[in-house]
Amino acid sequence: MGSILREWVGFQQFPAATQSKLVELFGKLKEKGVSALTILVMGKGGVGKSSTINSLIGERVVNVNAFSSEVSRPVMVSRTRAGFTLNIVDTPGLVEGGYVNYQALELIKRFLLNKTIDVLLYVDRMDAYRVDDLDKQIISAISDSFGKEILRKSLLVLTHAQLCPPDDLSYDVFPARRSEAVLKTIRAGSRMRARDFKDSAIPVGLVENSGRCNKNESDEKILPNGKAWIPSLVKEIIGVATNGNKSIVVDKKLLEGSESNDRGKVFIPLILGVQWLLVKWIQRAIRDDIAKGGKAF
Ligand SMILES: Nc1nc2c(ncn2[C@@H]2O[C@H](COP(=O)(O)OP(=O)(O)OP(=O)(O)O)[C@@H](O)[C@H]2O)c(=O)[nH]1
Ligand SMILES: [Mg+2]
């Protein structure tokens, strides 16, 4: 289904320091009996979904375009290394002409049939300064489509993280404020209670896909705070994958949205029962009325 299992050659392209950190992280996963991860990447158009996938795989596996959408349907990229398989699903942007693209979401769901999502990367830009109702609607659409539980398997990814914050904010403060704003919208969109949302705490990963990203002495891409972001992001991904919440199984039931229909179906016998009683009651009332009427004449 659009996925070819290949040896993860891009892994060798990472600097040695990154490679050894990743080997350690994947080793810990294997110790927990996890030998494969499936990551779904979603977000608005042009936020850097495909670029982030290319950065994570270390190869140009999906197309990136500055000015127009490249991915019109979901694509799964699979790479295997030392008995570990990484599957990443790239998807088209979820906004079309200023509205949530429900059709794209449906397409993604169909593509994922019989697959299990271990982690959702919800991608947005760090260098945006506002959130709006559309952001909220996107989250509502995702949680209606895959179930609220998907938020417990989510990681917020903010791209363009090598930015100069506005004059009045330091680099330490800016990502926290931007994350807070996006997370608030995610909570509102998911219609989760504040406490439930807090319990499922969505972590945040910062990303800089640009080839001009600064590097440390070990040649690793770093953010202005000095952190090598690829190993940090992988660590966050693994954290979500192993956070104790169930992965999302995309089965026929989820595809048909039968969960919500089923909930309604429970009331059908009750409604029929009440209707039957009502008819009986009316019939009796009419009979009584006729009987009474009969006596009057
Ligand atoms: N400077 C910078 N540019 C980025 C970053 N991430 C992506 N870009 C650029 O932003 C543009 C869009 O990136 P894509 O990766 O194609 O975005 P996308 O979310 O996959 O877009 P669609 O597939 O159209 O929804 C490209 O020109 C990328 O080079 C980033 O972290 N920093
Ligand atoms: Mg793309």
Q: What is the mean pLDDT of residues 64-91?
A: 89
Residue 47 is labelled as binding a ligand:
yes
DSSP helix/strand/coil, 179 = helix
> Is pLDDT above 50 for 167?
yes
Residue 48 is labelled as binding a ligand:
yes
Q: What is the pLDDT of residue 3?
A: 54
* Burial annotation 97-107 (CB, 10 A radius, 16+ → b, else e): eeebbeebbeb
Candidates 41, 42, 44, 50: which one to mutate for ligand 1, based on the most atoms within 8 Å of Cβ?
50
Q: What is the mean pLDDT of residues 52-80?
A: 89
CB 248 within 8 A of CB 147: yes
DSSP helix/strand/coil, 39 = strand
Residue 64 Cβ contacting ligand 1 at under 6 Å: yes
In angstroms, what is the span from residue 231 Cα to ligand 2's centroid?
Answer: 22
Q: Whose CA is nearest to atom 1 of ligand 1?
A: 210
Which amino acid belongs to residue 64? V
Max Cα distance, the chain (Å): 108
% residues pLDDT > 90 (the chain): 74
> Is pLDDT above 60 for 144?
yes
Q: Whose CA is nearest to atom 25 of ligand 1?
A: 45
Residue 280 is labelled as binding a ligand:
no
> In Å, how far are 153, 186, 190, 214 from 248, measured between CA atoms?
8, 18, 16, 36
Q: What is the pLDDT of residue 262?
A: 52
Token pair listed for 79 = 């790479």
Between 11-25, 113-127, 164-178, the lowest mean confidence (pLDDT) is in: 164-178
| Adjacency order of strands within the sheet including 5-7 | 5-7, 75-81, 84-90, 36-43, 119-125, 154-159, 204-206
Q: Which ligand is nearest to the CA of 93?
A: 1
The closest-lying atom of ligand 1 relative to the alpha carbon of residue 46 is 21
> Is pLDDT above 50 for 263?
yes
Which amino acid belongs to residue 223? L
Band the pLDDT of 195: cuts 50, 70, 90: confident
Residue 209 Cβ contacting ligand 1 at under 6 Å: yes
Token pair listed for 268 = 């059908």
Query: How far is Cα 289 from Cα 297, in angstroms, rounded to an integer?
Result: 13
Token pair listed for 151 = 């938020």
CA atoms within 13 A on the CB side of 34: 19
CB 123 within 8 A of CB 47: yes
Can you list the alpha helix ranges (DSSP code H) found in the chain?
16-31, 49-57, 102-111, 133-146, 173-190, 194-199, 229-241, 252-255, 258-265, 268-296
Residue 160 is labelled as binding a ligand:
yes
Helices 173-190 and 133-146: angle between axes, nearest 10 degrees: 60
CB 194 within 8 A of CB 145: no
In angstroms, what is the span from residue 210 Cα to ligand 1's centroid?
Answer: 9
Q: What is the mean pLDDT of residues 252-275?
A: 72
Band the pLDDT of 137: cuts 50, 70, 90: very high
Q: What is the pLDDT of residue 266?
A: 65
Residue 159 Cβ contacting ligand 1 at under 6 Å: yes
CB 117 within 8 A of CB 150: yes
Residue 189 is labelled as binding a ligand:
no
In angstroms, what is the span from residue 46 Cα to ligand 2's centroid?
Answer: 7
> Is pLDDT above 50 for 1?
no
% residues pLDDT > 70 (the chain): 92
Q: What is the pLDDT of residue 71?
A: 66
Query: How far is Cα 105 from Cα 92, in angstroms, rounded to an integer?
Result: 9
Q: What is the mean pLDDT of residues 84-100?
A: 94
Summarised one tens digit per residue, pLDDT across range 210-227 is 999 999 999 999 999 999
> Is pLDDT above 70 for 37?
yes
Residue 124 Cβ contacting ligand 1 at under 6 Å: no
